[in-house]
Amino acid sequence: MNTYVINKCFPGEISYCINNEITCSGIIGGKKDQLSYLFDRMFKMTEEAESGHNIRDQAALILMIAKNEIERLKTFNIDEGWAMHCSTSGPTEFFEGWGLKRNLSSRYGIPKLVGDKIYTGNDKLYDIVHQFNRVPEWHKILINKYE
């Protein structure tokens, strides 16, 4: 999906991004000054991008990472327990069809629901579970806990 979005938004730029980890723009943290730069640059890129897709912010972030435009960048792997993006790491309709399950399993382990909490494949509790509404079973359990 990211390849498709990058090709639509930033034609001719995909070569920078090949073989990079999947990156989600849905959760970003950091210090104020660095975040201000990051968001300003992402905004400008999305404004200049082709209008072929509505996930231009993610395409911009991926391209910035691939071109080493973000100073002191720290990305977390899915097995570190900081954040889990259910769209690509949970049992969604894309999980097996796109090969995500196979890749995660061999690299990091598969995130799992235990009771009403989501854990990494190596049993660390996630600090953030993003897009849990994309996994209907998880959504039902998690939303009941926090309603």
Question: Residue 24 and residue 5: Cα distance in Å, rounded?
Answer: 12
Question: Residue 139 and residue 31: Cα distance in Å, rounded?
Answer: 31
| pLDDT for the residue 104 | 86
| Residue 41 dihedral angles phi and psi, to the nearest 5° | -65, -45
**Final residue of a domain: which of 33, 66, 99?**
66
105/129 same-domain check: yes
Residue 6 lies in a domain: yes
23/52 same-domain check: yes
| pLDDT for the residue 96 | 81
Residue 71 lies in a domain: no
Residue 33 lies in a domain: yes
pLDDT digits (tens, 9 = 90+) for 54-106: 889 999 999 999 999 998 899 898 999 999 998 888 888 878 888 888 888 88
Question: Residue 34 and residue 57: Cα distance in Å, rounded?
Answer: 17
pLDDT digits (tens, 9 = 90+) for 12-60: 999 999 888 778 888 999 999 999 999 999 999 999 998 877 889 999 9
Straight-line distance from the first to the last Cα atom of the chain, in angstroms, rounded to the nearest whole number: 32
Per the listing, tokens 């723009």 go with 25
84/127 same-domain check: yes
Domain count, the chain: 2
pTM of the predicted model as reported, rounded to 2 decimal places = 0.82
